Amino acid sequence: VVLIVPITQVVLATALDWAPWGPGPAAKAALPLVPLAAVMASLTALGEELGWRGYLQSVTQQWGFWRSAAAVSGAFTAFHAPLMWHSWASGAMPGAEAVAATLNIAAGSFALSALRDRIGTVWPAVWGHGLLNSAVVWLHGSAAQVDRFGAGAFWIFTAVGWLGWFIVAAATRRHPAWA
């Protein structure tokens, strides 16, 4: 489920010729390491997910799914915002990408909360978080070559992702087959 949104973004971007598909040599060499990276990223996400979707989502679930997910998303995003700010301030990430990534963290959090809500355990969110930090980063950064976007295409690509996360969250909550 977590890979549906980034794959849709990449298909759209390549179909509209915004970002040429064609992983370079470094991306091709890294591809076999993506599953290992997903496992490692899941292990590092475990502590976060126990806090966000394990504890915080449990204590706010009486607010209803969308309000609880918004609270978790707010905490999750606030936790990650200093990293995005530092990435921008250090020159590792342009300002627009730092803003987009921060908002993507907020939107993607709803999908992770929906997985946790649908399945009743934090483990799908742990794995989903690991996939976001590994496979999605590889897909966007290496394969889709998002650094070649123009400003307009970048924001459309990003907005498709934000909308996609909310659609995935809603569909995951309503349809068990999505989980």
What is the full per-residue pLDDT of the chain (179 aa) written as tens digits? 888 998 888 888 888 887 767 677 777 888 888 889 999 999 999 999 999 999 999 999 999 999 999 999 999 999 999 999 999 999 988 888 899 889 999 999 999 999 999 999 999 999 999 998 888 878 777 666 666 777 788 888 889 999 999 999 999 887 655 54
Residue 142: the pLDDT is: 67
Radius of gyration of the chain (CA): 16
Which alpha helices (DSSP H) does the chain contain, by range? 4-15, 25-30, 34-49, 57-60, 65-89, 95-119, 123-131, 137-138, 151-174
Residue pair 103/162 in contact (Cβ under 8 Å)? The answer is: yes
Q: What is the pLDDT of residues 153-162, one digit of tens each?
A: 888 888 999 9
- The DSSP symbol for 140 reads I
Global confidence as pTM: 0.88
Q: Calculate the alpha carbon distances from 78 to 72, 74, 104, 160, 173 in Å.
A: 10, 6, 12, 22, 25
Residue 64: the pLDDT is: 93
